[in-house]
């Protein structure tokens, strides 16, 4: 039996993936070629960025952008389909964005608003034009896990068009299996100890949501300072302030840049560099399975594995942070 709800919810994510029905996404197909995905924190980082990266890699003929809800409120959104993603459906910024659009639009056809929430009776769901309600069930832990993955499955399915093709066209059983294996993957020697004593645990990698989401989860689960170093940003100046008490975990590193990372971060700074990847890298590596087109989900699970073990090593109450809240900025009704 798992000691913490977050550990159970990570495991429950396997069934969330296996049982996901892409046909349920069909009624929410975008009504414009231009799409905006707005939200805060985990409800946006991995779900939106992963969908955008996939669309760009596969030449999807849609324009998709993501933004925090309050900044999106400053944009001209007419002629775009707005998706507001919020696990609770009670995020104040999301409600403010919806109300701003409703005040300005001439018709629902001009700027359709779809909510992606876990509570169909929440303010965001009620005030949007329609709502996709997550089926993953409530989360007791403050750090969101299974809801993040289901939101990501929704947006990926939305853009991939598997809603029309049906579940047979998506490798959800294989993805669920690989995801579960990553949650239990053996960790390199010394990884947990180095992270346990680290001043910060940064995640580096592509702008596809996985590394950035793990940087947030490092705050919530391992209770350590963290950062997301996009692409090769980690060797473009930030090394000036890194020390040998920092850990950098590179997610699916660019093979032709591993030597530069070693030169700058390992040799130059003395920082500990580890990797999460589908191959053995030149760094101590958590090797995960590959499911083409969906591997970022598996990399995310391996990162959860790391942070869960670090949190346990630190003796942290993983379900109850001292200051972080389940709803970071809850709307006052």
- CATH code of the domain in which 299 resides: 3.40.50.10490
Write down the pLDDT at residue 319: 84
Does 216 share its domain with 260? Answer: yes
The parent domain of residue 293 ranges over 180-313
Does 221 share its domain with 282? Answer: yes
Domain end: 124, 149, 170, which one? 170
Q: Which residues of the chain have pLDDT under 70?
A: 1, 162-169, 323-333
Does 39 share its domain with 163? Answer: yes
Does 70 share its domain with 114? Answer: yes
Does 163 share its domain with 283? Answer: no
Does 124 share its domain with 221? Answer: no
Crossing angle for the helix pair 210-217 and 295-313, to the nearest 10 degrees: 20
Q: Strand 272-277 relative to strand 285-287: parallel, antiparallel, unpaired?
A: parallel
Q: How many domains is the chain partitioned into structurally?
A: 2
Give the pair of three-digit tokens for residue 15: 């069934």
Give the pair of three-digit tokens for residue 170: 């998506």
d(CA 148, CA 175): 15
Residue 332 lies in a domain: no
Give the pair of three-digit tokens for residue 51: 């969908």
d(CA 322, CA 317): 9
Does 195 share its domain with 166? Answer: no
Residue 57 lies in a domain: yes
Give the pair of three-digit tokens for residue 306: 């790391």
Residue 235 lies in a domain: yes
Q: What is the pLDDT of residues 14-57, one digit of tens each?
A: 999 999 999 999 999 999 999 999 999 999 999 999 999 999 99
Cβ atoms of residues 151 and 94 within 8 Å: no
64 to each of 19, 34, 231, how far by Cα in Å? 27, 6, 20
Write down the pLDDT at residue 164: 42
Does 97 share its domain with 129? Answer: yes
Residue 18 lies in a domain: yes
Does 157 share its domain with 196? Answer: no
d(CA 299, CA 183): 10
DSSP state at residue 219: I
Q: What is the pLDDT of residues 250-288, one digit of tens each?
A: 999 999 999 999 999 999 999 999 999 999 999 999 999
Write down the pLDDT at residue 324: 63
Crossing angle for the helix pair 295-313 and 5-18, to the nearest 10 degrees: 170
Does 14 share its domain with 100? Answer: yes
Residue 318 lies in a domain: no
Residue 309 lies in a domain: yes
Residue 124 lies in a domain: yes
Residues composing the chain: 333
First to last CA, the chain: 38
Residue 230 lies in a domain: yes
Does 279 share its domain with 242? Answer: yes
Q: Strand 272-277 relative to strand 228-230: parallel, antiparallel, unpaired?
A: unpaired
d(CA 53, CA 215): 18
């Amino acid at each position: 039996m798992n000691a913490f709800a977050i550990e159970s919810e990570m495991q429950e994510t396997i069934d969330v993936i296996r049982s996901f029905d892409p046909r349920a996404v069909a009624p929410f197909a975008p009504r414009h070629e231009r799409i905006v995905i707005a939200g805060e924190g985990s409800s946006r980082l991995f779900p939106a960025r992963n969908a955008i990266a996939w669309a760009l890699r596969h030449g999807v003929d849609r324009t998709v952008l993501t933004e925090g809800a309050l900044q999106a409120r400053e944009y001209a959104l007419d002629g775009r389909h707005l998706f507001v993603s919020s696990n609770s459906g009670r995020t104040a910024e999301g409600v403010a964005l919806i109300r701003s659009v409703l005040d300005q639009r001439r018709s629902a056809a001009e700027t359709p608003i779809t909510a992606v929430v876990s509570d169909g009776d929440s303010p965001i769901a009620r005030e949007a034009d329609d709502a996709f309600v997550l089926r993953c069930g409530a989360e007791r832990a403050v750090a969101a896990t299974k809801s993040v993955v289901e939101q990501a499955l929704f947006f990926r399915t939305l853009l991939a068009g598997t809603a029309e093709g049906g579940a047979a066209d998506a490798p959800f059983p294989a993805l669920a299996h690989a995801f579960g294996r990553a949650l239990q993957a053996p960790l390199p020697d010394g990884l947990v100890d180095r992270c346990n004593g680290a001043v910060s645990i940064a995640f580096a990698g592509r702008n596809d949501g996985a590394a950035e989401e793990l940087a947030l989860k490092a705050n919530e689960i391992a209770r350590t300072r963290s950062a997301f170093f996009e692409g090769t940003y980690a060797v473009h100046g930030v090394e000036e302030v890194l020390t040998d008490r920092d850990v950098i975990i590179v997610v699916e590193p660019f093979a032709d840049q591993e030597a530069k990372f070693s030169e700058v971060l390992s040799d130059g700074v003395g920082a500990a560099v580890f990797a999460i990847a589908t191959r053995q890298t030149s760094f101590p590596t958590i090797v995960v399975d590959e499911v083409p087109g969906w591997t970022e989900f598996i990399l995310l699970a391996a990162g959860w594995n790391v942070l869960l073990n670090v949190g346990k090593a630190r003796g942290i109450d993983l379900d109850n942070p001292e200051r972080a809240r389940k709803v970071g900025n809850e709307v006052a009704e």
